Amino acid sequence: CELVQNYLASGVEANCWLAKDSGTSQPHGEVATPGSSTVSAHGLVAVDDHIWTISLDLWERGS
Q: What is the pLDDT of residue 61?
A: 86
Q: What is the pLDDT of residue 56?
A: 96
Across 41-63, average pLDDT? 93
pLDDT band at 9 (very low <50, low <70, confident <90, very high): very high
CA distance linking residue 2 with residue 17, whole number of Å: 11
Across 10-25, average pLDDT? 96
Q: How many domains does the chain have?
A: 1
Domain of residue 43, residue span: 2-60
CA distance linking residue 61 with residue 41, whole number of Å: 17
Cite the DSSP H helix spans in the chain. 2-6
